[in-house]
Amino acid sequence: MKWVRHIFWLGTKELRAVLTDPMMVFLILFMFSGMVYLQASAVTENVNNASLAIVDEDNSLVSRRIANAFFPPNFQRPDYIEADDVTGAMADGRYLFVLSFPPNFERDLRRGWQPTLYLDVDATAMMQAGLGDGYIQSIVAAEITDFLQSDGASSDSPVALQTRRAFNPNGTQRWFQAISAVLDFLSLVTIILVGAALIREREHGTIEHLLVMPLTATEVALAKIWANGLIILVAFSGSLTLVVEGLLGVPVAGSRGLLMFGAAAFLFAQASIGILLGIVARSMAQFALLMLLVVLPMMMLSGGMSPVESQPNGVRQFTWLFPSRHFLSFSHAIVFRGADLTLVCGDLLRLLGLGSAYLVISLTLFRRSLSASG
């Protein structure tokens, strides 16, 4: 088994090259600790600490009840302002929302009329404005319904909708974002390490040393894949335990062993893509540009930023070629739903199949590259 020894010793050379570089070790550790935590906790798709002002020209029980329904963490405690101050306050950017109650609002409600509430929104903060608008409408509607029912009046809505959240009862956004962040950095760091290692050998001239040794392109590629993959798999395991579960409090419902096996299959696929990019690029500058063209679309279209189902049909079909799409589905099924192997074997086989296909393409190009260099 001479080829196994070749792959092993070439891999140990890669391990020493990475682990003896203090800056590289620091960046890997920071990516899987600080960056995962920041992306999971600092970036939110929910309304958070939004500023709100109330113009209460009715000063009634129901208007005060609605005003008291806005509280942290979604909204700041509302400030009361006069109607004449609304334009100036919005222009100064002091408030994101201003909710105005007209005179006789409660009286009109009791009479069964439909009084109008006015909501001014600063739409320069587009995401918060769009989401907050829906939050405020929902809160106002719920409070008015409760008020009318307690007052003996009938509710306008004939249906009472009760929502039960499965797998994430409190709707904690950071649970999803934490797994997506780990996925993003797994993709990014794996492709960078493997591809840059290949380009570094070409730029330093050590590729010629490989040509005079009894090595094959397959052995060189597999050595780089297992060595760099091992480093990132250890970093992933530490990030999952210390950051995702420890600091962020994301519970892992399924098998950790199955999750690690799936992560290894994903790393194999991503490392194969890294080899492919490292062969196509002739310099580090070209490799960096290829990273922008390949990795960023993977991160945006694999389901971490927006659901795959909501994307155009042509784009959705193209994402089947992304290993990150299948690993995101795989990891969500295990972490959140406690899925076993029978439920995720399809995603696992697709990861292995894509990794093998990309590796075959990479080895074909690598052999041609070595032959041309020789």
DSSP per residue, 39-97: HHHH--SS--SB-EEEEESS--HHHHHHHTT--TTTBPPPEE--GGGHHHHHHTT--SE
User: What is the bridge-based pairing of β-strands 79-80 and 52-56?
Assistant: parallel
- Which pLDDT value is given to residue 374? 53
Based on the fold, state whether residues 65 and 187 are members of the same structural domain. Answer: no
Residues 241, 105 share a domain: no
Report the mean per-residue pLDDT for the chain.
85
Q: Of the residues 87, 120, 150, which one is the last residue of a structural domain?
A: 150
Q: Give the residue, 203 or 178, on which the prediction is more confident.
A: 178
Q: Which residues have CB under 8 Å from 218's CB, separation 6+? A: 3, 363
- Evaluate whether residue 189 is within a structural domain: yes
**Same-domain pairing of 146 and 178:** no
Q: For the chain, what percent of residues have pLDDT higher than 70?
A: 90
d(CA 270, CA 274): 6
Residue 71 has pLDDT above 90, yes or no: no
Distance between CA atoms of residues 210 and 324, nearest Å: 32
How many structural domains comprise the chain? 2
Mean pLDDT of the 343-347 span: 92
Q: Which of 138, 130, 136 is nearest to 161 (CA)?
A: 138
Q: What average pLDDT does the segment 350-355 reach?
A: 94
Q: What domain range includes position 329?
A: 2-43+171-373
Average pLDDT, stretch 49-72?
89
Same domain, 350 and 229: yes
Residue 166 counted as domain residue: no
Higher pLDDT among residues 348 and 112, named by residue: 348
Evaluate whether residue 212 is within a structural domain.
yes
In a domain, 162, yes or no: no
Shared-domain flag, residues 251 and 356: yes
Name the β-bridge partners of 98.
53, 120
Residues 210 and 235 in one domain: yes
Whole-number pLDDT of residue 358: 93
Q: Which helix (H) or strand (E) holds 157?
A: none
Considering the domain architecture, whether residues 27 and 82 belong to the same structural domain is answered as: no
SS3 state of residue 252 = coil
| Residue 32 lies inside a defined structural domain of this protein | yes
Please say if the pLDDT value at position 356 is more than 90: yes
pLDDT confidence of residue 311: 83
Q: What is the CATH number of the domain that holds 65?
A: 3.40.1710.10
Is the pLDDT assigned to residue 149 strictly greater than 90? no
186 lies in the same domain as 139: no
Lowest mean pLDDT among 157-166, 181-190, 334-343: 157-166
Same domain, 69 and 143: yes
Residue 330 forms part of a structural domain = yes
- Is there a domain that residue 115 lies in? yes
Question: Is there a domain that residue 161 lies in?
Answer: no
> Quick one: 175 and 266 in the same domain?
yes
**Is 87 found in the same domain as 33?**
no
Is the model more confident about 164 or about 37? Answer: 37
Tokens found for residue 252: 């892992």
What are the φ and ψ backbone dihedral angles of 289, each rounded to 5 degrees?
-70, -40
pLDDT value of position 211: 60
**Which of 150, 184, 207 finishes a domain?**
150
**Do 235 and 319 share a structural domain?**
yes
- Per-residue model confidence (pLDDT) at position 31: 92
For the cut 70, the answer to whether the pLDDT of residue 371 exceeds it is no
> Model confidence at 268, in pLDDT bands (50, 70, 90)?
very high
Once rounded to an integer, what is the mean pLDDT over residues 68-88?
Answer: 88
The Cα diameter of the chain in Å comes to: 93
